[in-house]
Amino acid sequence: MDDSILTPRDFASHPAYIEPGYRSSVKRGPLRPLIPLKERLRDQHVPVYGAEDLGALDHDLTRNAVVNGAPLGERIIVTGHVLDENARPVRNTLVEIWQANATGRYVHKSDQHDAPLDPNFLGAGRCLTDNEGRYRFLTIKPGAYPWGNHPNAWRPNHIHFSLFGDYFGSRLVTQMYFPGDPLLAFDPIYQGTPADARERLISRFSLDITEEGFALGYEFDIVLRGRNDTPMER
């Protein structure tokens, strides 16, 4: 196989652009056919993100915004591999995350949820994958929050992920959920993902990753393209 050519994305694994149950997708989903990118643009390499652009604590959300103490909530470790369509590690690639705090509140002016902000928690981090394609974040487990999409609507606990991989064509924005969350059954964003691909959005609890007396561990592998690719966020 020519490594410079990406295989087509498996759109059957991704949610539709317009999902009636997810109200904002109706407003922003495209109504006209997409315009295919030219091959040389689709396969173009992204800019290189060097380690010198990262802060020492960018991967540690429990310390990268501390003002006067540790953030409140359950500490967790989130780690996994970033893989390409052939299950090979994607090395030295930027992984960015953002999330709500333990009470389900984002540090953003548009979030007016009646829950407290944590002065010691920003809810954003980034890191580079290593030579095995592995990333690792230390953070606080995000809380659920109401979002007004439908009566008594609550978003499940989740963390947003953003990656470019090696190509613009492997761009991915997705959400990671937690195992056993009862809100998944009622969430139109999660339910809008095809049923046979939903499990790829749920992290796995790992006692091996868990650090005794400190933080629970979750594993979430990300596949950027191909038959087993991680579904996109809509």
Average pLDDT score over the chain: 90
Which residues face 146 on adjacent strands? 154
Angle 73-75-77 (CA atoms, 0-180°, nearest 5)? 150
Which among 59, 155, 200, 225 is annotated as catalytic?
155
Active-site residue, selected from the candidate residues 81, 105, 106, 200 = 106
> Active-site residue 59, yes or no?
no
Catalytic residue among 14, 81, 126, 158: 158
Is residue 14 part of the annotated active site? The answer reads no
- Between 39 and 18, the more confident residue is 18
Catalytic residue among 59, 81, 126, 145: 145
Q: Decide if 145 is catalytic.
A: yes
Q: What is the DSSP string of 76-118?
A: EEEEEEEE-TTS-B--S-EEEEE---TTS--SSTT---SS---
The β-bridge partners of 196 are none
Element (H, E) at 26: helix 23-28
Q: Where are the domains of the chain?
A: 11-223
Given 9, 75, 136, 160, which residue is catalytic? 160
Nearest to 98 by CA among 89, 90, 107: 107
- Look at 9-23, 154-168, 214-228 and tell me which has the smallest mean pLDDT: 9-23
Say what the pTM is. 0.85
> Which residue has better confidence, 134 or 14?
134
Asked whether residue 106 carries a pLDDT value surpassing 70, the answer given is yes
Q: Which residue has the higher pLDDT, 198 or 50?
A: 198
pLDDT at 50 over 70: no
Note if 150 is an active site residue.
no
The CB density around residue 175, as the number of other CB atoms within 10 Å, is 21
91 given a catalytic annotation: no
Give exposure, 62-71, as e/b (b: 16+ Cβ within 10 Å): bebbeeeeeb
Tell me, what DSSP letter sits at residue 50? -
Domain 11-223, architecture per CATH: Sandwich (2.60)
Average pLDDT over residues 1-11: 61
- Return the number of other C-beta atoms located less than 10 Å from residue 38's C-beta: 8
| Beta-bridge mates of residue 176 | 159
